[in-house]
Amino acid sequence: MRFHETLSEHSVALRYFQPLELGQRVAHERLLRIAQSDYDREIALIATTGDKLIGIVRFSRRIGGLGADTKDATFSLLVSDEYQNQGLGSALLTRLIEVAKTERVARLFAEVLERNDPMQQICQKLGFTVSAPHGDPATVTLEKRL
């Protein structure tokens, strides 16, 4: 809950594609769901300083036909405003790539808002490609084959 209090409306809108009130983001059911990962399908890594959560990155395997996991995984990244532009996002995503390789993920990808330049810059620096998706013209797809 304290982590979400550190996020500006701008950061929230870039991550969730829309403004989300703090109450929505810290609803008990939502926090319970995202805090209890099924490690066969989803892995989350966090960055802390002292007892303060300052960043989180995760990947979730895509489910294919008949409920089987694919070798593809979506990823997300969110860093507290106070710690943005200091290399933490790059460090978290670099570590997530290492974990994804160990977990035999073949491709990491995310759809982000086209105006989310910081996320695109981090990803391009780490070898992701940026391309327009087939749907919403306001988003781009970031992809890295592992």
DSSP one-letter string for 37-49: --TTTEEEEEEEE
Provide the residue ranges of all domains of the chain, joining segments of one domain with +: 2-145
DSSP 59: E
Query: pLDDT per residue over 103-138, tens digit each?
Result: 999 999 999 999 999 999 999 999 999 998 667 778
Residue 4 contacts residue 22 (beta carbons within 8 Å): yes
CATH-assigned architecture of domain 2-145:
3-Layer(aba) Sandwich (3.40)
**What is residue 75's predicted lDDT score, i.e. its pLDDT?**
97
Predicted TM-score of the model (pTM):
0.83
Report the distance separating Cα 53 and Cα 30, nearest Å. 17
**What is residue 4's predicted lDDT score, i.e. its pLDDT?**
76
Query: pLDDT per residue over 43-95, tens digit each?
Result: 999 999 999 999 999 999 987 655 556 789 999 999 999 999 999 999 999 99
Look at the block and give the residue holding tokens 């989180």: 56
Report the distance separating Cα 132 and Cα 114, nearest Å. 9
